[in-house]
């Protein structure tokens, strides 16, 4: 959705002992603590916080409310650019193509890097 304010986006890599649906519940709990109310949002519109599970190791999952790898990640510059920064050689578990190889196809999406501010 283009009719919305700019937003910050980041990609983080981590490890968890949680199963996929447990991780989904945990991320949605964090979103709610930051004021996210899914019942009041427009689809793909502005939100206070949005945590997506892009990947879960090399697994391919279709679960209630969770698809992994995230189905739209290869079409979104705001996902691919920071993902390529932290894991340039990371490959899609289904076809083995690197996520970085898709950056050129999304280059016109209007993202820009925000300079880090000193803490």
Q: Active site includes 6?
A: no
* Of 44, 59, 58, 52, nearest in space to 80 by CA: 52
Q: What is the CA radius of gyration of the chain?
A: 15
Decide which of 3.30.70.560, 3.20.20.70, 3.90.1200.10, 2.60.120.560 is the CATH code for 20-106.
3.30.70.560
Round to whole Å and give the CA distance between 18 and 87.
22
Q: Which of 13, 19, 33, 36 is catalytic?
A: 36
Q: Which of 3, 33, 40, 50 is catalytic?
A: 50
Q: Active site includes 91?
A: no
Q: Are 24 and 53 in contact (CB under 8 A)?
A: yes
pLDDT digits 0-9 by tens, 6-65: 667 789 999 999 999 999 999 999 988 988 777 776 666 666 778 899 999 999 999 999
Q: Active site includes 95?
A: no
Token digits of residue 21:
């649906």
* Of 71, 30, 75, nearest in space to 50 by CA: 30
- Global pTM value: 0.80
Token pair 């304010």: residue? 5
Residue 47 has a pLDDT of 67
Q: Active site includes 37?
A: no
Q: Which of 42, 52, 58, 95 is catalytic?
A: 52
């Amino acid at each position: 959705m283009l009719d919305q304010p700019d937003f910050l986006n980041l990609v983080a890599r981590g490890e968890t002992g949680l199963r996929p649906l447990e991780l989904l519940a945990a991320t949605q709990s964090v979103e709610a603590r930051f004021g996210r109310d899914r019942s009041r949002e427009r689809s793909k519109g502005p939100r206070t916080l949005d945590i997506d599970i892009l990947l879960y190791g090399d697994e391919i999952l279709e679960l209630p409310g969770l698809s992994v790898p995230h189905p739209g990640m290869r079409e979104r510059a705001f996902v691919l650019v920071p993902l390529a920064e932290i894991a340039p050689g990371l490959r899609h578990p289904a076809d083995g193509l690197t996520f970085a190889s898709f950056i050129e196809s999304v280059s016109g999406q209007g993202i820009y890097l925000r300079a880090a501010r000193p803490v």
